[in-house]
Amino acid sequence: MRDLIAPHGDLPRGKNPEQIAKADPRQRAWVEVNPAAVEANCRSLRRHLCESCALMAVVKADGYGHGALTVARAALQGGAKSLGVATLQEGIELRQAGHNAPVLVLGNLTHSEDLKACLHWQLMPTLSSMREALLCQNLADGSGRQFRIQLKIDTGMTRLGCELKEAPMLVEAIGHLNQLELKGIYSHLALADGDLQGKAAMVTDQQQQHFETVLRTLPEQHNGFTRHLANSAGTLRDRGLHYDMVRVGLALYGHSPNLQLQGKVDLQPALSVKARVTLIRDVPAGVGVSYGHRFTTRRPSRLAVVGIGYADGVSRSLSGQISAIADGQLLPQVGAITMDQLVLDATNHPDLEVGSIVTLLGKDGDACITPQQWSDLSGSIPWEVLCSFKHRLPRLVI
Ligand SMILES: *Cc1c(COP(=O)(O)O)cnc(C)c1O
């Protein structure tokens, strides 16, 4: 990990996100990213928050597949005050690109070398235990620098975070570690994307109560930190969950965590997946198509072979269930989706030709295909759909 630390303390000049965008538009398939949509979503989200509540843009997993640098820039432009990442490397990437905004590492860094890199790059690690707090104190002690950290409390997610009953003691102990600066206390909701009533409401309410119980035990002098609890779902479902900051991922990219929360804030999808027709075939009725011949033509058919497959992130479990849009018209996908290609039934679309662009995900004319539609069909969730597009697909920033 030592090579992650530059010899000098200054930040190297950044990669321009637009450089990543210079993909050849004649590609067989690509992901189109619209940073203006991310910026507009941030503004919409900001309007939904009260004046004193800040917006953290969660740009982990390469900005949910949109390109972390593209998204970070647009989000900060749209009023986000800080950035959330999952890993050390993701945080360093932001710093190397020249972003100076506060960055919180949401994942757990266990190695001393990782925490050292965090201190060097001024990334805030998430601490869940005394062990990590002491590691940070020792690292900072040697460097003569203050280490800005955040403490996570488990209020019911049962993943990262300290035990509820340990929290007051940990806050006090951190207060005594003179090299540590506690910048935030937070927790994470487990069921906020569930129904607005029933179990999801009960669990969310209970998590909030646990969070407040901890906050109430903290002595007066510990009030320089940011309290935060809500992800996208929490942000949209209840303003009572907002506190000093919300950590928004999915909504930033233009998608609602569930149908009930749709329309609470005006959101525009920022990503489309497009591919080109690479071959047109006119075949008779009764022809088996693709591996396993899962589909057989019922009539003389015009088939369009498209250069995108499951190795690009179009899940094989969607085979025969999705459509693609060409000129605002839906064309059914037929047969098994293969590693690099899929087949559309273009019988009702005689204008389609080799080189024509089809939209697998996103909007074209009046037609629109959403990650939610795919995830409903494949038993996934919109988050996973967005993160599944591989880097074989160039990101085209529009
Ligand atoms: C990923 C993540 C978020 C963002 O979640 P969304 O549902 O995409 O808004 C917020 N907080 C933490 C701790 C996360 O890991």
Q: Does residue 23 register a pLDDT over 70?
A: no
Q: Is 365 left (phi over 0), alpha (psi -120 to 50) or beta?
A: left
Helices (H) then strands (E): counts for the chain: 12, 19
Would strands 342-345 and 245-248 be described as parallel, antiparallel, or unpaired? Answer: unpaired
Q: Locate the ligand 1 atom nearest the alpha carbon of residue 188 and give its number.
A: 13
What's the pLDDT score for residue 218?
84
Looking at the annotation, which residues are catalytic? 60, 291
Pocket test for ligand 1, best of 56, 106, 243 (most atoms within 8 A of CB): 106
Nearest CA to ligand 1 atom 3: 231
What's the pLDDT score for residue 220?
67
Give the pLDDT confidence of 127-185 residue by residue, as tens digits: 999 999 999 999 999 888 999 999 999 999 999 999 999 999 999 999 999 999 999 99
What's the pLDDT score for residue 328?
94
Q: Which band of pLDDT confidence, cut at 50, 70 and 90, is reported for residue 13? A: very low
What's the pLDDT score for residue 144?
84
Q: Which band of pLDDT confidence, cut at 50, 70 and 90, is reported for residue 1? A: very low
Alpha helices in the chain (DSSP H): 17-21, 35-48, 60-64, 68-77, 88-96, 112-121, 130-143, 167-176, 199-217, 232-237, 371-378, 382-387
Lowest mean pLDDT across 82-86, 119-123, 259-263, 332-336: 259-263
What's the pLDDT score for residue 25?
56
Q: Is 188's C-beta closer than 6 angstroms to any atom of ligand 1?
A: yes
Q: Which band of pLDDT confidence, cut at 50, 70 and 90, is reported for residue 18? A: very low
What's the pLDDT score for residue 142?
82
Give the pLDDT confidence of 337-365 residue by residue, as tens digits: 999 999 999 999 999 999 999 999 999 99
What is the rounded CA–CA span in Å between residue 94 and residue 84? Answer: 10
Q: Determine which helix (DSSP H) or strand (DSSP E) holds 303, and give its type and residue range.
A: strand 301-306
Give the pLDDT confidence of 276-316 residue by residue, as tens digits: 999 999 999 999 999 999 999 999 999 999 999 999 999 99
Q: Report how far apart the first and last C-alpha atoms of the chain are (Å, whole number).
A: 35
Q: Does residue 9 register a pLDDT over 80?
A: no
What's the pLDDT score for residue 224?
83
Q: Does residue 8 register a pLDDT over 50?
A: no
Q: Is 250's C-beta closer than 6 angstroms to any atom of ligand 1?
A: yes
Share of the chain above pLDDT 70, in %: 92
What's the pLDDT score for residue 324?
98
Q: Does residue 5 register a pLDDT over 80?
A: no
Q: Is 232's C-beta closer than 6 angstroms to any atom of ligand 1?
A: yes
Q: Does residue 19 register a pLDDT over 60?
A: no
What's the pLDDT score for residue 222?
57
Q: Is 249's C-beta closer than 6 angstroms to any atom of ligand 1?
A: yes
Q: Which band of pLDDT confidence, cut at 50, 70 and 90, is reported for residue 221? A: low
Distance (angstroms) between ligand 1 centre and the Cα of 390 equals 21
What's the pLDDT score for residue 16?
44
| Domains, the chain, ordered by start | 35-258 (3.20.20.10), 271-397 (2.40.37.10)
Q: Does residue 100 register a pLDDT over 70?
A: yes
What is the rounded CA–CA span in Å between residue 379 and residue 218? Answer: 43
Give the pLDDT confidence of 222-249 residue by residue, as tens digits: 568 999 999 999 999 999 999 999 999 9
Contact 277, 319 (CB under 8 A): no
Nearest CA to ligand 1 atom 4: 249
Q: Locate the ligand 1 atom nearest the alpha carbon of residue 193 and give its number.
A: 7
Nearest CA to ligand 1 atom 15: 106
Contact 283, 303 (CB under 8 A): yes
